[in-house]
Chains A and B, each alone.
Chain A
Amino acid sequence: MNDDPFDLLSQSRPDDRPLQPGDNPAADDLLARIVASDPTATPTSGVTRRRGRWGAGVVVVTVVAGGTAAAAAWWAARPSDTTTIACYSDASTDPDVQVALPRDPDLTPAQQCEPLWSDGTIGDTGAPPLASCVTAAGIVAVVPSNGETCSTFGLTPADTGGEGGEGDVATQVANVISEQYPRDCVANADDAVAVIETLLEDIDADDWTVTVAGDTNDDDRPCWYAAVVADTQTVLVVNAAAPPSP
């Protein structure tokens, strides 16, 4: 007998047959209402997104255009040792391979570690998604994030230098966006907002606001990115040029 719990769970997957008219009157009503509505109409019910306008958007666009989301995480972090970084082979406090490098102020820690994943030092197939965390010793450790956040590795969340108790949350926000926000072009502001709100939900950042600060009519900036503003507990959704092809 198959003893894999995942396979066992898969056995219980329902074999859904398509709905037929009359199967579910509530569904029939919903379908009739929807197809009778104007698909271009602005929705008037359901989700209320916390959204606003951002007067100083130009500054933020500059931040985002100058780097990737990973840069936002680094911008948020403030290790006590600013001269050294460590590149980890595993998302663990005890990695199989740990390479120490002098900090290059012109690169993000992730950019410094990426080549080690191609030249055979750590790997030879290219870098996976990387996250910049801060170890208990105050050193930036660049770890393969694989969709997880720094705290799940057992590493101490970085201190953003913010006031009060918001620093750790801001770092978590920056890290989760750095790690999980799509690397390819997000061509719709609504999609970007939805992704970011989901990520905020994942880390229980209830008090954070998602604000669309870009210009939806700018064809030269077709892709939507996230920028973390710790002071105002805001994630700005801004548009910029498409990311370079891998």
Chain B
Amino acid sequence: MVVADRPDAAHVAADMSGDAVQSREADQATSRVAQFERIFNMHYTAVERYITHRHDSVDRADVLSVTFTTAWRRLDDCPCGDSDVRGWLIGIARNTARNTARSHRRRHAAETTSPAARRLVADLYDVSVPADTAARVAHALGQLRDTDREVVELAAYYGLTGSALAAALGVNVNVANVRLHRARQRLTDAYRAAAGEESR
């Protein structure tokens, strides 16, 4: 009977509609996981290195965990379609590490001066930069304020510029550009001063 069939047909239609919704949600979840896996695999090493270089007083595994968990929660905010994603992740790691360090600062005051510059420059030896030049760069980096040194490191070592650098530093692009420009100038000045001292 046609009439008797109607409720069944409606029920089937409703089931199909429910299936479609569930299917769409499943697709979205799969897409989200795939997107996160891509940025995780692409940038995990750089973020880990950043934490090691800049924030060696904190628990690296803990900061990594919080950083990527935060990124997972805030994936909708991720500038994942462009090159800013590394800056975005480093910005999260930076805030996480700093907040962690803040709470322990008084107990770990001696650890807040990271040997990042020494480690960074040590890598120069691996790319055929003469030892005396690398030493001069190390000296120049050591002369910078930590805020300048951080900007130089993020730009030179992690390749962050423009909006990616701004995302990492938590400032707007203009401020980031100016800070980089000034930090580079101070680095150059310190480097030349070191060269002048050597030639005397």
Q: At the interface, yes or no: A10 with Cβ under 8 Å from chain B?
A: yes
Q: Which of A161-201 contact B (CB under 8 A)?
A: 179-180, 182-184, 188, 194-195, 197-199, 201
- Residues on B with C-beta less than 8 A from A245 are none
Q: Is the interface of A mostly helix, strand, loop or mixed?
A: loop
Instruction: Tally A residues with Cβ within 8 Å of B.
Output: 50
Q: Is the CB of B95 within 8 A of A34?
A: no
Q: Which of A18-63 contact B (CB under 8 A)?
A: 18-20, 24, 26-27, 30-31, 34-35, 37, 39-41, 43, 45-49
Q: How far is the CA of A129 from the CA of B96 in the complex (A)?
A: 27
Q: Write the B54-94 contact mask toward A (1 if CB under 8 angstroms, else 0).
A: 00000001101110111011010100000000000000001
Interface range, B side: 35 or more
Q: Which of B8-55 contact A (CB under 8 A)?
A: 32-33, 36-37, 40-46, 49
Q: How far is the CA of A9 from the CA of B45 in the complex (A)?
A: 19
Q: A39-B75, A147-B178, A197-B102 are in contact. Are A182 and B156 (CB under 8 A)?
A: no
Q: Which residues of A contact B (CB under 8 A)?
A: 4-6, 8-14, 16, 18-20, 24, 26-27, 30-31, 34-35, 37, 39-41, 43, 45-49, 128-129, 146-148, 179-180, 182-184, 188, 194-195, 197-199, 201-202, 206
Q: List 16 A-B contacts (CB under 8 A).
A: A6-B188, A8-B133, A8-B137, A9-B137, A9-B153, A12-B123, A19-B42, A26-B61, A30-B64, A30-B68, A35-B37, A46-B62, A148-B182, A198-B98, A201-B98, A202-B147
